């Protein structure tokens, strides 16, 4: 299978290449794609060094699969050009997520909705993916009525520029700023741009994407997204209210039985998920599982995952693996 990776020199693009190799994805030809400034560079894949190409060259090659991680503008412009060539596109940006004709996919939850006609497939926001990996199995059992989520998101979610800002600040270097304030020794209640209603775009994504993926517009969601001085790994405090009553003792088993979710919940032994635990892992970790005594049928959980892997690169490649297994590409 000929596979193009668009934005291959970025944080997520690099990890995509690593995952393609480690999961033995059936790549007959890798087509590395990046901006003009990266032309001349080489990407190493399966002990081969491969020249980076322009996106126009990649379109003409009409690959079987194009994995996009180059931002909304690039995806809006070029994803349709690939799909017109018969290429299946899986896009990591926000460009197509809320398009009514585009599927928004977390494979463990709703991959069954995909068909061969889906030539552009959207990968959800990293925060949405990890939250719904924890909530979907509970929703299937008890039906979610309302979600209150606060996120604590690492700087890698913003990109390489933000990682550079944090590293420079820790070294006492005045460098390029990704954020309007220092991030080291600080936390910013500001992920993405603010909208007219006072919520940030990141918070709106959590609301809209949850309803679309679970196919339930009745679910009430409110979110606060916070950027913290951690390099990799997003954390979330999630309060969820169900339609049905639940047995607290059943919750860990329900979560642990869901593919891709691991329970780490022994607070008496200081065992609970933290970003340092999840770095480089593909699973979503859940802990601090406890009843909310202030509301009926409500639960508190703490959810942590590597935002560059399951929150982006791994989820993308899992979608592609599903398409192959079901002969949809």
**Considering the chain, what percentage of its residues have pLDDT values greater than 90?**
99
- pLDDT tens per residue across span 219-258: 999 999 999 999 999 999 999 999 999 999 999 999 999 9
What pLDDT, on the 0 to 100 scale, is given for residue 191?
97
Residue 281's pLDDT is: 98
CA distance 203 to 206: 5
Q: Are 2-124+312-325 and 127-306 equal in CATH topology?
A: no
* Stretch 99-126: mean pLDDT: 98
Mean pLDDT rounded to a whole number for the chain:
97
Q: What is the pLDDT of residues 199-223, one digit of tens each?
A: 999 999 999 999 999 999 999 999 9
Of 112, 126, 190, 191, the catalytic one is 126
Give the CATH fold of the 2-124+312-325 domain. Answer: Rossmann fold (3.40.50)
Q: What is the pTM of this model?
A: 0.96
CB of 277 closer than 8 Å to CB of 304: yes
- Judge whether 126 counts as a catalytic residue: yes
- Would you state the pLDDT for residue 146? 98
Q: How many Cα atoms are found within 13 Å in the side-chain-facing hemisphere of 308?
A: 26
Long-range own/partner contacts, residues 36-45 (CB < 8 A, 24 or more apart): 38/9, 41/9, 43/8, 43/9, 43/17, 45/17, 45/20, 45/21
Q: What is the pLDDT of residues 289-304, one digit of tens each?
A: 999 999 999 999 999 9
The Cα-based distances of 240 to 133, 177, 306 in angstroms read 14, 36, 22
CA–CA distance from 71 to each of 52, 79, 98, 153, 253 (Å)? 18, 11, 15, 19, 38
Beta-bridge partners for 305: 234
Domain ranges of the chain: 2-124+312-325, 127-306
pLDDT of residue 106: 98
Return d(Cα 62, Cα 320) in angstroms, integer.
16
pLDDT of res. 283: 98
* Superfamily per CATH, domain 127-306: Dihydrodipicolinate Reductase; domain 2 (3.30.360.10)
């Amino acid at each position: 299978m000929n596979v193009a990776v668009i934005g291959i020199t970025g944080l997520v693009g690099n990890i995509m290449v690593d995952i393609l190799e480690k999961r033995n994805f059936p790549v007959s030809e890798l087509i590395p794609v990046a901006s003009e400034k990266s032309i001349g560079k080489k990407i190493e894949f399966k002990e081969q060094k491969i020249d980076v190409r322009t996106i126009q060259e990649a379109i003409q090659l009409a690959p079987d699969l194009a994995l996009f991680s180059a931002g909304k503008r690039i995806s809006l412009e070029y994803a349709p050009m690939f799909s017109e060539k018969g290429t299946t596109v899986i896009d990591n940006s926000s460009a197509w997520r809320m398009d009514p004709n585009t599927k928004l996919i977390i494979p463990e939850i709703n991959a069954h909705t995909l068909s061969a006609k889906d030539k552009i497939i959207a990968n959800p926001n990293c925060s949405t993916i990890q939250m719904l990996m924890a909530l979907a199995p509970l929703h299937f059992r008890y039906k979610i009525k309302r979600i209150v989520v606060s996120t604590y998101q690492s700087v890698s979610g913003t990109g390489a520029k933000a990682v550079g800002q944090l590293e420079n600040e820790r070294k006492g270097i005045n460098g390029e700023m990704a954020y309007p304030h220092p991030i080291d020794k600080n936390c910013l209640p500001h992920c993405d741009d603010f909208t007219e209603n006072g919520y940030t775009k990141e918070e709106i994504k959590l609301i809209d994407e949850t309803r679309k993926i679970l196919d339930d517009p009745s679910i009430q969601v409110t979110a606060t997204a916070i950027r913290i001085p951690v390099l990799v790994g997003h954390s979330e405090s999630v309060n969820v209210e169900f339609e049905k009553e639940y047995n607290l003792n059943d919750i860990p088993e329900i979560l642990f039985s869901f593919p891709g979710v691991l329970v780490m919940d022994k607070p008496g032994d200081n065992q609970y998920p933290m970003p340092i635990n999840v770095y480089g892992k593909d699973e979503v970790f859940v802990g601090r599982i406890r009843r909310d005594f202030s509301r009926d049928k409500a639960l508190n959980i703490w959810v942590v995952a590597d935002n560059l892997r399951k929150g982006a690169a791994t989820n993308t490649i899992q979608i592609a693996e599903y398409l192959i297994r079901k002969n949809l590409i």
